[in-house]
Amino acid sequence: MRGIADLRLSNILLTVDDDRIATVTLNRPAKRNALDLATIDELVDIFSILPRAGARAAILRAEGDHFCAGLDLVEHHRENRSAADFMQVCLRWHEAFNKMEYGGVPVIAALKGAVVGGGLELASAAHIRVAGPDTYFGLPEGQRGLFTGGGATIRVAGLIGKARMIDMMLSGRLYRGQEAVDVGLCQYLVDDPEAKTVAIARTAAENPPLSNFAICSAISHMQNMSGLDAAYAEAMVAGVINTQDAARERLAAFAQGTAARIKPEA
């Protein structure tokens, strides 16, 4: 795909299959996939290019036993950053995660082991999170004398509400299993998150790309608007999406009785 081969990646593996489904693999398992600045730069590059290159969906996964241990604490300690320096680091994190959330390509995350701190911030920028039996979620920032800097106050609070987020940060509470689904940290809990993630990505990739673009950018944008403006924007987006050629074809199939009906599996 356009531009992908030119990317210089060290901490992340990127592959794209014949159906234009990208697999983005965090690849620092020896450091529990902690996010150093180089990894964040690679995420910015990858999620800048995938929408323009025509990716139909992206799977976000990790090598090793843990999805992501959050901010690279050793790098942060070594760099002895000033407030201004770390503000710039956080802006780069926001750039990466905003490209994921607002890029218009469905991002489905396969989660395992620790999804903590910045790792949870990364996961929460995906559109769908799939957890397994060993997955756990935490925000240990308080214990480390830190604060979230990669968007948790927006995305994690949005998923679980501010009271639960504050509890996680103050008390170090971890969520896992069905409780993690129930509070909204993930949408699926399955034995094999990798397989489920691939299946979801394949299903999503069958939707017209323009529909997925709206689903994976417009909803997030509209959440940032007043109700009145969101309703206006929704009408504009629906005007474009619901009259696209791909929609006309699918509507014709429905009218002719050849399209699938929407029913739960028996």
Side by side, which strands form the sheet with 136-138? 114-116, 136-138, 175-176
Q: What character string, x for contact with ligand 1HE (CB under 6 A) and - otherwise, covers 68-107?
A: -xxxxxx---------------x--x--------------
Q: Dihedral of the CA atoms 179, 184, 189, 193 (nearest 10)? A: -140
In the chain the first and final C-alpha atoms are separated, in Å, by: 39
- The structure tokens listed for 39 are 């990894």
Residue 118 binds to ligand 1HE (criterion: CB under 6 A): yes
User: If DSSP codes are grouped into helix, strand and coil, which group holds residue 161?
Assistant: coil
Distance in Å, CB of 84 to ligand 1HE, minimum: 15
Distance in Å, CB of 181 to ligand 1HE, minimum: 21
Q: What character string, x for contact with ligand 1HE (CB under 6 A) and - otherwise, covers 149-188?
A: xx--------------------------------------
CB closer to ligand 1HE, 25 vs 148:
148
Query: How many residues at the interface with ligand 1HE, by CB under 6 A?
Result: 23
Distance in Å, CB of 57 to ligand 1HE, minimum: 26
Q: Dihedral of the CA atoms 98, 210, 185, 68 (nearest 10)? A: -50
Residue 121 falls in the annotated catalytic set = yes
CB closer to ligand 1HE, 153 vs 207:
153
Task: Fill in the amino acid letter for 245.
Answer: D
Are 119 and 35 a contacting pair, CB within 8 Å?
yes
Residue 140 binds to ligand 1HE (criterion: CB under 6 A): yes
- Spell out the residues 6+ positions from residue 226 whose beta carbon is closer than 8 angstroms to its own: none
CB-closest chain residue to ligand 1HE: 117
CB closer to ligand 1HE, 39 vs 220:
39
Beta strands (DSSP E) in the chain are: 12-16, 21-26, 57-62, 107-110, 114-116, 128-131, 136-138, 175-176, 188-189
Distance in Å, CB of 28 to ligand 1HE, minimum: 8
Binds ligand 1HE by CB under 6 A, chosen from 66, 94, 112, 164: 66
Residue 42 falls in the annotated catalytic set = no
